[in-house]
Amino acid sequence: MLTKTSIILFLNCLVIQLLTAQTLLDNFDRANTNTLGVPSGGAFNWLETEVTANQVRIQNSQLVFENNNPSGRTFASYDATNRYSTVFEQASGNLVWQCNMWQSRNNPSGFGTNDYGIAFVIGADESDFTSPTCDGYAVVLGNTGNPDPVRLVRFSGINNQTDVITNGSDFGNNILTVRVTYNPCTSQFALFVNDAGTSGTLPTTFTDPAVATYMQIGTSVTEDIFTGNNLNFIGALWNYNTASAQIATFDNIYLPNVAQANNTYTWNGSLNTDFQIAGNWTPTRTCSLSNDVLQFQTAGNISISNIPTQTIGRLSVSNGCTLTFSTLTSQTLTIRGVPLATDLEVTAGSTLLINSNASLELVLGTGATGSITGNMSFGGVGVDLNHRLLATDASAVVFNNGSIFTAASGVDGNVFGNSGTSNTVIFANGSRYVSTSGSNPYGLAQPGSKVTFQTGSTYIHRQASAPSLAGRTYANFEFDFLGTSTILFGSSLPTRLCTIDNLSVLQGVFNITLTNADPLPILLKNDLNISVGATFEYNPSDITDINQNTFTFGGNTAQTITNQGILVYGPSSTLIFDNSAGFTIAGGNVATTGNLTLNNGIINTGTNTLQLLKINTGALTGGSATAYVNGNLLRSIATLGTFYEFPIGDATRYQRMALQFSDIGICLPVLINAHFTDSDPRLGASTMTNFSEAGAFFTDILPQGFWQINTTCLNIIRYDLRLYPVGFADFPIGRAAYTIVKRPTGSTGTGIWQSNGTILFPALLPNEFSNGVFTPAGYISRTGMSNFSDFGIGASLVNPLPVNLVSFEGKTEGNSVKLHWKTTAEKNNLGFEVEKSIQGNNFAKIAFVKANPYASPENEYVFFDDNPQQMNYYRLKQIDTDGKFVYSKTIAVTSKTTFQVYPNPVSNSLQIDFLTDEEILLTFSDMFGRTLVSEKNQPKKCLQSINQLLPVLPAGIYLLEVRQQGQIFRKKIVKQ
């Protein structure tokens, strides 16, 4: 039972506690001066601002403000850093401020715009109290109306004030002593006043606030808007708005003398699971401050209930603790941060679970950081739970190697928020994000993002809702949902590209189908893995742009495609290979019904096949010495009369192949699988049936490579084949002639190489025109071939006669072509027939050059062709005295001409620059040899005939032949 004596003792102790919880900053007990100098209880000068030198001064041992202008503000401020806990809510005890204040103007109106009055600033975050960005708290005397109370206000900029505590008392120009207290445990302010009565003149003395008797103004008020800020400036402000002389004075300014608390509490759970029960903590947590450090260090499961809305300094889960937070109503736990520490910590082997039926937010304030090396999971038995981990600063929270974050069942929305600073959460190498529920982790509209997935991190998708791909960047992406997840929409924004390092579909169906016209291009920088029973479909709708719906393998290290399930690239997609480090196809075939582009890198298929099932000839683009298939390439062919390209080769050589059907029979489309091998695909040595063709005698096969072509169609009627040998020891020089040879269909064992179809060009065929000049394409061609098996390069013997042809060259000189050749070791040489061809076949003799009758170890011969065409092919037929002969290699020489055709390709109208206006013979035919125009007339008349026909011709390749002045010109025309 409390006695009267005990009550008196308690009150005395309370007074002593309040007195010892404050310290005198300045009593201004100094000689009169126009500068304030160093406070009596301070270490450095006051900061004062004034228009004239005496506007702020010390007079009669008081701080005096006097106006001598119609309006303005003047102040004196002092930096109280390290004097007490200037972050009010982190103080280790109650804070107390006191001072005396008086002003001469009756009916003061405060210190807002166009007001006049005085203020005791108990805390501000800037030294300039008049700054529009200065925030803090002040005791203000005056009001814009009547009465004129003493008020405790919160200001955000001096003109933006909000009353915290006020009442209706009128203090006018009374002599006041004020006291402000703040309880950090309850976040409550209280305001007290001692009124010494009205005075019209400057008071000579004030009652010491430390011994004054006070009455409380209003009641205590909970206020925490700025109490978490560092309000380290204290002082006085005078606002005047009158031309008449007025004066204000302050004296005996007392500061709190309470240090910042550094309280660390460890959960013991000795009473129950309630977070708010003080006895569940060691030491007992009777007062909750914003810099409290809360530790959970007991190994095993700990369940905590009744989580309040509260601000703390740090939260740590360690030592193998599995901590579960729950709350019955929506709450926010703010982590403000403490110096020199990680503010949210979950160590390796520990777990923080938010498993609550009501939403719970963890909010990291400015400067606060988080480091997760263990696990974190958000979930609950409810639905639409808005659990959140929110951070203020970029890169504030880092999930480290080995950590796992799980958006578990019940979670809704974006767990890292959907507004504010980008990239607040970082998933580092070795960390994982598991999406079982809720929206995507990115939160912000792309290209913004709340999260960054660094290289080596993994996003795991385990829900039916579609993940966010458009404009997003992942490291490793795993689809692991036993069901179907479909992405219906791409993006119309420029940042629509989705970038993924490694993509794995472990189970279920991951379908990118896109029902709108917005594309969704994907760049895969490393590997693609489709597990057994899993399906990945990149199958945009046909209303999207195939050229923008690209799936690109485009890393800078070797990439592997492992398909053990179902992998679909749809008809409105483009599959692109663009990586100089190359690719490997493993586990199964890779097929596309869309377009295929080979930009860079060798694709190694092994026993698998890269399948292009789209029948358009233009479905495949690219292909080069640095971009081809080393292995099996399958194409679907349905168009006659057009060559389909097969960019294939071996590990080091590009061995291009092209195939054109003139009749497919009943198979339409037909699937053709081709690959190149650097050794004979059959057992044993290669043998060949010798044959003569086109003036050459073919006796053996070049062993440096072979093409294998297979099909499921058993009734291939007729096709043309082009092979482009590279890296063959005797090609394109070393033999007299070359052609394609084929093993009989169905051959077993070694098989016999033999002729099939008709030789079209036995050596080098001219390629397309390039700026009006022929360039060698280096391919060998046969036409009218049937069925498929193995193919190789057949060659005629090198010169068997006793003449060694050292060189054979040709070049233009004036209007002629000069042929020059050298021989050695001539014996019984009759001479050389010079043969010429315009197309590269059907050679005709144009001259005979006798052998040097005085043969020497080295012999040179020259012949001039005075009637060259635009393109000329020459070969030598060396004849021995006994009638035996052998052909040299074929050389091509371009003759200068003014014959030009443009544009090419052409749509509707062709232009031709002829040599002269003399009559020409013009023939225009298709690739099947059918003559469409044949006319002998003036050049302009002939050209009109072609241009009348061009608009109605189907797209394709046509042949133009012009004969004029004894010259023949031929050119391929591409009709668009």
pLDDT given at position 12: 35
pLDDT given at position 946: 87
Q: Which two tokens stand for residue 645?
A: 């390209």
The domain segmentation of the chain, as residue ranges, is: 20-256, 615-798, 804-894, 900-975
Q: In the structure, how many helices (H) and strands (E) does the chain have?
A: 2, 79
628 Cβ neighbours under 8 A, 6+ residues apart: 598, 602, 603, 647, 648, 649, 654, 655, 656
CA 764 from centre of chain: 47
Give 338 or 527, the one with higher predicted confidence: 527
pLDDT tens across 671-688, in order? 999 999 998 887 655 677
Q: Are strands 425-427 and 451-453 parallel, antiparallel or unpaired?
A: parallel
CA 622 from centre of chain: 25
Question: CA-CA distance, 27 to 25, in Å (whole number)?
Answer: 7
Helix (H, G, I), strand (E, B) or coil at 942: helix
Q: Are strands 233-241 and 71-79 parallel, antiparallel or unpaired?
A: antiparallel
- The mean pLDDT of the chain is 87
pLDDT given at position 749: 60
Average pLDDT for 626-641:
95
- Residue 593 DSSP class: S
pLDDT given at position 575: 98
Helix (H, G, I), strand (E, B) or coil at 16: helix
Do 20-256 and 900-975 have matching folds?
no
pLDDT tens across 228-271, in order? 999 999 999 988 776 667 888 999 999 999 998 889 999 999 99
Q: C-alpha angle 90/96/97, rounded to 5°?
A: 115
Lowest mean pLDDT among 163-172, 424-433, 774-783: 774-783
Residue 302 predicted with pLDDT over 50: yes
- Residue 3 DSSP class: -
Helix (H, G, I), strand (E, B) or coil at 841: coil
CATH topology assigned to domain 615-798: Chondroitinase Ac; Chain A, domain 3 (2.60.220)
Question: CA-CA distance, 909 to 901, in Å (whole number)?
Answer: 11
Q: Which two tokens stand for residue 942?
A: 């002939």
Lowest mean pLDDT among 40-54, 268-282, 669-683, 909-923: 909-923
Give 443 or 946, the one with higher predicted confidence: 443
CA 605 from centre of chain: 29
Burial 575-599 (b: 16+ CB within 10 A, else e): bbbbbeebbbbbbbbbbbbbbbbbb
Give 803 or 70, the one with higher predicted confidence: 803
- pLDDT confidence tier of residue 19, bands split at 50, 70 and 90: very low
pLDDT given at position 594: 96
**CB atoms near residue 492 (< 10 Å):** 11
Q: What is the per-residue DSSP string for 758-812?
A: EEEESSPPEEEEETTEEEE---EEEEEE-S-SEEEEEEEPS--SS-EEEEEEEEE
**What pTM does this model have?**
0.74
Question: Tell me, what amino acid is at 484?
Answer: T
For residue 201, count CB atoms less than 10 angstroms from its CB and return exposed for 0-12, middle for 13-18, buried for 19 or more: exposed
- pLDDT confidence tier of residue 818, bands split at 50, 70 and 90: very high
CATH class of 804-894: mainly beta
CATH of domain 900-975: 2.60.40
Beta bridge partners of residue 121, listed in sequence order: 138, 235
Q: Which two tokens stand for residue 430?
A: 């070795």
Question: CA-CA distance, 726 to 65, in Å (whole number)?
Answer: 97
Return the percentage of the chain with pLDDT > 90, whole number.
58
Residue 149 predicted with pLDDT over 70: yes
Lowest mean pLDDT among 263-277, 287-301, 558-572, 718-732: 718-732
- pLDDT confidence tier of residue 112, bands split at 50, 70 and 90: low
CATH class of 20-256: mainly beta
| Cα separation values, 539 from 132, 536, 715, 872, 902, Å | 57, 9, 33, 51, 40
